[in-house]
Amino acid sequence: MFTIRVNGVEHTVDASEDKPLLWVLRENLKLTGTKYGCGQALCGSCTVHVDGQPTRSCVMPISAVGNKQIRTIEDINTEHIGSLVQQTWQTLNVPQCGYCQSGQIMAATALLKNNASPSDQDIDKAMSGNICRCGTYPRIRKAIHKIAAEQL
């Protein structure tokens, strides 16, 4: 049994110690907004915040979570910047198929919280681990710049 804090709520889950956080979120807690892409930390679709840091939940064993605060896409709009990111994603129609986008939004939110006016280079460094099969990268970049320029 492990007790973890997800989106401000404590949950006790019955899971083996090596079960990845991603599958605890999706199966045990039914938080299916976080997506499975590769299971090997290669694509970023499973990105959640662990104490504010974007983390690949597909490779983080539940036993490594401890007291850290997990935040997922389901709750990111409760943060000011998270909700700006989601709104701007809608305004600019950033998603195509959408599969990678919860990971993109988690990564973009963390970037903008850390850096209110990221350069293209800052965006590359922060976002290059989040792969989009649909190639929405130009719209992601545009949305991040728009938020930084107009709202931060």
Partner 1 sequence: MPPNFANTIRRIVSSSLLIAAGLISSQVAAQSPLFQPLFEVLTHPRCLNCHTKTDFPRQGDERRRHAQLVVRGEDNHGAPTLQCSACHQDENVADGAVPGAPHWALAPLSMAWEELSPSELCAVLKDTSKNGNRNLEALFKHMSEDELVLWGWTPGGDRTTPPLSQPAFVEALRAWVDAGGPC
State which residue, 9 or 15, has the beta carbon closest to partner 1.
15
Q: Which does 33 bind (CB under 5 to 8 A by kind): ligand FES, partner 1, none?
A: none
Q: How far is CA 133 from CA 41, 108, 125, 130, in A?
A: 16, 17, 19, 10
Applying CB under 8 A, which part among 5-13, 37-45, 77-85, 96-104 lies near partner 1?
A: 37-45
Sole binder of partner 1 in the list 55, 72, 88, 104 (CB under 8 A): 55
Partners of 61 in the β-ladder: 20
Distance between CA atoms of residues 23 and 88, nearest Å = 29
Q: Locate 31 and state its tokens.
A: 């938080």
Q: How many helices (H) and strands (E) does the chain have?
A: 5, 5
60 binds partner 1 (CB under 8 A): yes
Applying CB under 8 A, which part among 2-10, 23-31, 34-42, 92-100 lies near partner 1?
A: 34-42
Of 122-151, binders to partner 1 (CB under 8 A) are: 122, 124-129
Q: CB under 8 Å to 52, separation ≥6 — which residues?
A: 69, 71, 110, 113
The residue ranges that bind partner 1 (CB under 8 A) are: 18, 20, 39-42, 47, 53-56, 58-61, 64, 107, 110-111, 113-115, 122, 124-129
